[in-house]
Amino acid sequence: MGTAALRALPWALLLLGPLLPGQGLQANPMLASEPPQGQPAQLPGAEIGGFTPAPPASAQEIQPLNKQPANGSGEGHAKPRKAFPVLGIDYKHVRVPFEISLWILLACLMKLGFHVIPSVSNIVPESCLLIVVGLLVGGLIKGVGEKPPILNSDVFFLFLLPPIILDAGYFLPLRQFTENLGTILIFAVVGTLWNAFFLGGLMYAVCQVGGPGLNHIGLLANLLFGSIISAVDPVAVLAVFEEIHINELLHILVFGESLLNDAVTVVLYHLFEEFATFEQVTIIDIILGFLSFFVVSLGGVFVGVIYGLIAAFTSRFTSHIRVIEPLFVFLYSYMAYLSAELFHLSGIMALIASGVVMRPYVEANISHKSHTTIKYFLKMWSSVSETLIFIFLGVSTVAGHHYWNWTFVISTLLFCLIARVLGVLVLTWFINKFRIVKLTPKDQFIIAYGGLRGAIAFSLCYLLDYRHFGMRDMFLTAIITVIFFTVFVQGMTIRPLVDLLAVKKKQETKRSINEEIHTQFLDHLLTGIEDICGHYGHHHWKDKLNRFNKKYVKKCLIAGERSKEPQLIAFYHKMEMKQAIELVESGGIGKIPSAVSTVSIQNINPKTLPVERILPALSKDKEEEIRKILRNNLQKTRQRLRSYNRHTLVADPYEEAWNQMLLRRQKARQLEQKMNNYLTVPAHKLDSPTMSRARIGSDPLAYEPKADSENLPIITIDPASPQSPESVDLMNEEPKGCGGLPPSPEEDEEGLVMRVKEPSSPGTDDVFTPGTGDSPSNQRMLRCLSDPGPRPEPEEGEPFIPKGQ
C-alpha cells in the first residue's frame, strides 16, 4: 500500500466510521460523539468542501491494515511477536480538541455556505439559517444514535459569550451611546423589570388557572421564569440588526439596552434563585435584593474600569514588543469578565466598561498593525462565537428534554410580546418628555419589535437546579419556543417591515474631518454658553471630564509625545492615512472623490487658483472610466459606520477597495505608466494626491505649493523619496524608498506628530514601527500598512500596483 493510502487512513476511518459498524476496532468510539461531518450530502445548503470522503474502495484495503495496528498498539507487549505499529490510532488523546475544532469548522463552513448562496440569506437572516442547521445536525446525531451535545452553560458563558460582548464594547460608538444613555438605561432597567414582573405575575395567574399540570408552580418560580425570559439578548439583536442597517439611533438604543439589561437579569436571576430556597421572603431580603442591583451593575463597571486602566497603562510600555499588544487587550478584558463573574457581578458590564475605557489610550499607544490585529481577531472570534451559539441552540433543541404544555407555552409567548409592547410604549411616552429628538411611533415599533430573545435566556434556564425547579423542562421548552419565535418570525420580518415603514436607514455619510471639526467646535460653543448661563448641563460635565482626562489621565496612560497630541490632529492623521491608502491602491492615478478632503490650507491661494495640467492629457473616456471605477470602489467602503457588521469589516475604508482594485489592475496599469512620469515630481512640491486630483480635472481645486513651505511640514503621500525622485513603486519600494527614510528611533514613539520636514537619513527599519506622519516617513506609513516587513512580501504588497509588470 502506498504512502498515499497510509496518509488517507485516518481520514478514511473518520469519514467511513458509520460504514464500518461493529468492527470492534478502536476506531469506533472515536466516531460515537462526533458530528457527522462525513455526510455532506445530508447537510443541505452547506458546502463542506474540505471533507470529501475517501472513496469507499479503499475501505477494503484499509481494513486489514486497520486491524493490525489497532491490535498491535492495544495489546502491547502481550503478543510475542507483534509487528511494529507503523500507524496507530489514539483518538482519546485528541478527542476534545478534535471535536471542538470540528464544531468550529462546521460553523465557519456554514457561514461560507450562506454567502456562496446569497439568495437564501437575503430573505432569511443568518441566525435563522444557523439554527436550522443546528437542528439538522442535532437530528442527525440523534439519528446516528448518539446523544447530541447540549449547549453547556459554562461553555456558553465563559467562552462563547465574551468575544461577542468584547467586540461590541470595544467598538461601541461612544458618542451616540452617551448621548442616549438616559434612554438606554431606562429601557434596560425599568423595561426589563417591568417585563419580568409583568410576565412572572401573569404566568403565575395562568398557572393557577391552568389546570393540574401547572398548579404547583409557585410565584417565585414564575417570577424567575419571567426574569430569565424578559431580557433582550445582545447576540440575537446584533445578529439581526446588523443585517438591516437601521439608523444609528435605533441601533444603539436596542443594542445598548440588550447590553445593559444584563445587570438586571443577573440580579433578578440570583435573587429569585436564592429566594426559591428560602422558606419565607422578608422585606429585608427584598431590600437587599434592591441593593444588590446597584452593587452588581456598578461593581461590574468598576471592575471593568480598573482592568481597562491597567490595560491602558500596560500598553504604554509595549513599544518594544509590539507583537503581543493585542494579547494584552484580549487578556485584560477577559480577566475583567472573569473577575466580575467571580463575584457574581455583571460580567457583561465589566467587559463593556473595560473595552470602552481602555480603547482611547490603547489605540494611541499601539501600532497600527496591532490595531488591525485586534480588530480582526475580535471580529473573527465574535463571528465564530455567534455562529456556534446559534448552531448549538438548534442542536440543544433536539437534544434537550422537553415538556410541552400548550397553555404555558402559548401564554408565555403572548405575554412576552404584550409586555414588550406595553413597556416600550409607556417608557417612550415618559422618555419623550426629556428628549430633544423624540422617538416617533415608528421608532417605538422597531424598538418593541427588536426585542429578541436568545441564547442567554436558554443558558440561564439550563443552569437551574432540578431540585428546586422541577418544571425546568417546561421552562426550557417555553423559552426555546419564544427564542425561535423571536428569531425566526421577528428576525425574518423585521427587514421587510423596516422597508415598509420607511424607517430611516443608516446614513452612508462619510465621517469627514469636516464633521469632526464642527462637532468639536459645537461642543466648545455649547459648553461656553452653558457656563455663561450658569447651567451645569450635559456639556459642562463632559467638558470637565475631557479636561481632567487631558490633564492627568492621558499623561499616565499614553506613551511619550502622543499624550500631547490634540485630538483633532490625531483624527486628521487617521483620515490622512486612510486617504493615502485609498490613493495608493488606486495607483495614485485617481481623483478620490473628496470624502475626506485633504486640501492643505497652505495651498489654497485665496485669490487665484490655476488649474495646472501637468499630466499628458488623458482621453476623456479613460478619465471617466477611472473616475467611475474609483467612485464605485470607494463609495462602497466609505461608510459612516459604526455597526458591528461581521461579514465585511466595512468600517475599513480600504479592504473592499483593495480587493476590487486587484481585479482592475490591468485597466489601471496603462494609466499608471503615464502617471509615473509626473509622479516623479519631487515631494516637496506638493501633495501628489491633491495634484493628481487636480489633474484629472473636475476637482474643485487645484493646489499650488506655496514658496515658503519650510515652516510648514507637509504630509506628502508621495512615496517617492525626496532626493531621488522615482516613480511610484511601492511594492519594490523597500530597497530604495522605504528603506531610505525612516526617522530615527525616538521618532517611533511619537507616532502621528507633525514635524517640520527634515532631511531624511537612512536608518533601520522595524516591521512594527508605528511611525507615520511627515514626508520622510510617509513611505513607512505606507509600508506599515502594506506590511512588507524587511522584505517586501508579495502577498501583502499585492494591492499596490507593481511597477512595469
Partner 1 sequence: MGSAHSVPAEMRELADRTGFTSEQIEHLHRRFKQLSRDQLTIRKENFDSIPDLEFNPIRGKIVHAFFDKRNLRQESDGLADEINFEDFLTIMSYFRPIEMNMDEEQLDRFRKEKLKFLFHMYDSDHDGKITLQEYRNVTYGPSCPVTTEFPAPALTRCLGPDQVYEGITFDDFLKMWQGIDIETKMHVRFLNMETIAHCY
Nearer to partner 1, 346 or 597 (CB): 597
Q: Is position 620 an interface residue for partner 1 (rule: CB under 8 A)? A: no
Binding test (CB under 8 A) with partner 1, winner from 418, 522, 556, 663? 522
Residue 372: CA count within 13 A, CB half-sphere: 14
Judged by CB under 8 A, the chain residues 212 through 271 that form the site for partner 1 are none
Closest CA to 752 of 574, 559, 583: 574
Q: Is position 604 an interface residue for partner 1 (rule: CB under 8 A)? A: yes
Q: In the bound complex, what is the minimum distance in angstroms from residue 252's beta carbon to partner 1? A: 15
Q: In the bound complex, what is the minimum distance in angstroms from residue 707's beta carbon to partner 1? A: 15
> Which residues on neighbouring strands pair with residue 772, listed in sequence order?
752
Which residues have a Cβ under 8 Å from the Cβ of 409 and sit 6 or more positions away?
477, 478, 481
Q: Is position 698 an interface residue for partner 1 (rule: CB under 8 A)? A: yes
Q: Which stretch binds partner 1 (CB under 8 A): 159-167, 251-259, 344-352, 707-715?
A: 707-715
**Cell, residue 521:** 467646535
Q: Is position 754 an interface residue for partner 1 (rule: CB under 8 A)? A: yes
Q: Which stretch binds partner 1 (CB under 8 A): 132-140, 164-172, 322-330, 529-537?
A: 529-537
Angstrom CA distances, 401 to 33, 113, 216, 394, 688, stand at: 18, 30, 20, 13, 68
Compose the 319-338 pattern: x for residues touching partner 1 by CB under 8 A, - for all others.
--------------------
Nearer to partner 1, 575 or 618 (CB): 575
Alpha-carbon distance 769 to 739, whole Å? 13
Calculated CA dihedral for residues 13, 15, 20, 24, nearest 10 degrees: 50
Q: Would you give the distance in Å from CA 241 to the centre of its chain?
A: 13
Q: Is position 598 an interface residue for partner 1 (rule: CB under 8 A)? A: yes
- What is the sign, positive or negative, of the torsion defined by CA atoms of 489, 493, 498, 502? negative
Q: In the bound complex, what is the minimum distance in angstroms from residue 517's beta carbon to partner 1? A: 5
Binding test (CB under 8 A) with partner 1, winner from 517, 556, 614, 663? 517
**Cell, residue 362:** 490603547
Nearer to partner 1, 419 or 439 (CB): 439
Judged by CB under 8 A, the chain residues 403 through 442 that form the site for partner 1 are 436-438
Q: Which stretch binds partner 1 (CB under 8 A): 300-308, 317-325, 395-403, 713-721?
A: 713-721
Give how many residues touch partner 1 by CB under 8 A: 65
Q: Which stretch binds partner 1 (CB under 8 A): 185-193, 423-431, 470-478, 523-531?
A: 523-531
H or E element, residue 478: helix 472-484
**Cell, residue 591:** 481623483
Q: Is position 767 an interface residue for partner 1 (rule: CB under 8 A)? A: no
Q: In the bound complex, what is the minimum distance in angstroms from residue 528's beta carbon to partner 1? A: 4
Q: Is position 600 an interface residue for partner 1 (rule: CB under 8 A)? A: yes
- Cβ atoms of 136 and 68 closer than 8 Å: no
In this structure, what are the phi and psi dihedrals at residue 400, rounded to the nearest 5 degrees?
-75, 160
Q: In the bound complex, what is the minimum distance in angstroms from residue 691's beta carbon to partner 1? A: 15
Nearer to partner 1, 344 or 540 (CB): 540
Binding test (CB under 8 A) with partner 1, winner from 90, 154, 499, 515? 515
Binding test (CB under 8 A) with partner 1, winner from 76, 97, 534, 759? 534
Alpha-carbon distance 645 to 666, whole Å? 31
Nearer to partner 1, 55 or 182 (CB): 182
Binding test (CB under 8 A) with partner 1, winner from 518, 555, 613, 628? 518
Binding test (CB under 8 A) with partner 1, winner from 100, 533, 556, 662? 533
Q: Is position 537 an interface residue for partner 1 (rule: CB under 8 A)? A: yes
- Cβ atoms of 341 and 386 closer than 8 Å: no
Give the three-class secondary structure for 116.
Answer: helix
Q: Is position 708 an interface residue for partner 1 (rule: CB under 8 A)? A: no
Compose the 466-505 pattern: x for residues touching partner 1 by CB under 8 A, - for all others.
----------------------------------------
Alpha-carbon distance 713 to 195, whole Å? 59
Binding test (CB under 8 A) with partner 1, winner from 108, 112, 421, 599? 599
Q: Is position 553 an interface residue for partner 1 (rule: CB under 8 A)? A: no
Cβ-in-10-Å burial (0-12, 13-18, 19+) of 85 comes to middle
Binding test (CB under 8 A) with partner 1, winner from 10, 139, 713, 763? 713
- Cβ atoms of 254 and 237 closer than 8 Å: yes
- What is the sign, positive or negative, of the torsion defined by CA atoms of 329, 331, 334, 340? negative
- Cβ atoms of 180 and 249 closer than 8 Å: yes
Q: Where do runs of H (alpha helix) occur along 366-439? A: 368-399, 406-431
Compose the 649-688 pattern: x for residues touching partner 1 by CB under 8 A, - for all others.
----------------------------------------
Burial 319-339 (b: 16+ CB within 10 A, else e): beebeebbebbbebbbbbbbb
Q: In the bound complex, what is the minimum distance in angstroms from residue 616's beta carbon to partner 1? A: 20
Alpha-carbon distance 353 to 23, whole Å? 55
Binding test (CB under 8 A) with partner 1, winner from 295, 327, 712, 767? 712
Binding test (CB under 8 A) with partner 1, winner from 520, 635, 645, 732? 520
Q: What angle do CA 364, 717, 618 make, to 5 degrees?
A: 145
Q: In the bound complex, what is the minimum distance in angstroms from residue 692's beta carbon to partner 1? A: 15
Q: Is position 536 an interface residue for partner 1 (rule: CB under 8 A)? A: yes
CB neighbours of residue 491 within 10 Å:
27
Q: Is position 182 an interface residue for partner 1 (rule: CB under 8 A)? A: no
Burial 550-575 (b: 16+ CB within 10 A, else e): eeebbeebbbbebbebeeeebbbbbb
Binding test (CB under 8 A) with partner 1, winner from 216, 401, 535, 555? 535
Q: In the bound complex, what is the minimum distance in angstroms from residue 678's beta carbon to partner 1? A: 20
Angstrom CA distances, 7 to 1, 43, 62, 89, stand at: 10, 26, 11, 13
Q: In the bound complex, what is the minimum distance in angstroms from residue 171's beta carbon to partner 1? A: 23
Q: In the bound complex, what is the minimum distance in angstroms from residue 526's beta carbon to partner 1? A: 6
Cβ-in-10-Å burial (0-12, 13-18, 19+) of 97 comes to exposed
Q: Which stretch binds partner 1 (CB under 8 A): 36-44, 317-325, 510-518, 677-685?
A: 510-518
- Cβ atoms of 458 and 155 closer than 8 Å: no
Q: Which stretch binds partner 1 (CB under 8 A): 157-165, 231-239, 284-292, 695-703?
A: 695-703
Q: Is position 570 an interface residue for partner 1 (rule: CB under 8 A)? A: no
Q: Is position 560 an interface residue for partner 1 (rule: CB under 8 A)? A: no
Alpha-carbon distance 524 to 532, whole Å? 12
Calculated CA dihedral for residues 252, 253, 255, 256, nearest 10 degrees: 90
What single DSSP character describes residue 323?
Answer: G
Q: In the bound complex, what is the minimum distance in angstroms from residue 747's beta carbon to partner 1? A: 17
Q: In the bound complex, what is the minimum distance in angstroms from residue 365's beta carbon to partner 1? A: 22
- Cβ atoms of 264 and 231 closer than 8 Å: yes
**Cell, residue 422:** 406595553
Nearer to partner 1, 253 or 456 (CB): 253
Alpha-carbon distance 150 to 131, whole Å? 13
- Residue positions counted in the chain: 805
R_g of the chain computed on alpha carbons: 30
Q: Is position 528 an interface residue for partner 1 (rule: CB under 8 A)? A: yes
Query: Where do contacts with partner 1 occur on this chain (CB under 8 A)?
Result: 436-438, 507, 509, 512-515, 517-522, 524-540, 543, 547, 566, 568-569, 572, 575-576, 594, 596-602, 604, 606-609, 697-701, 711-715, 754, 756
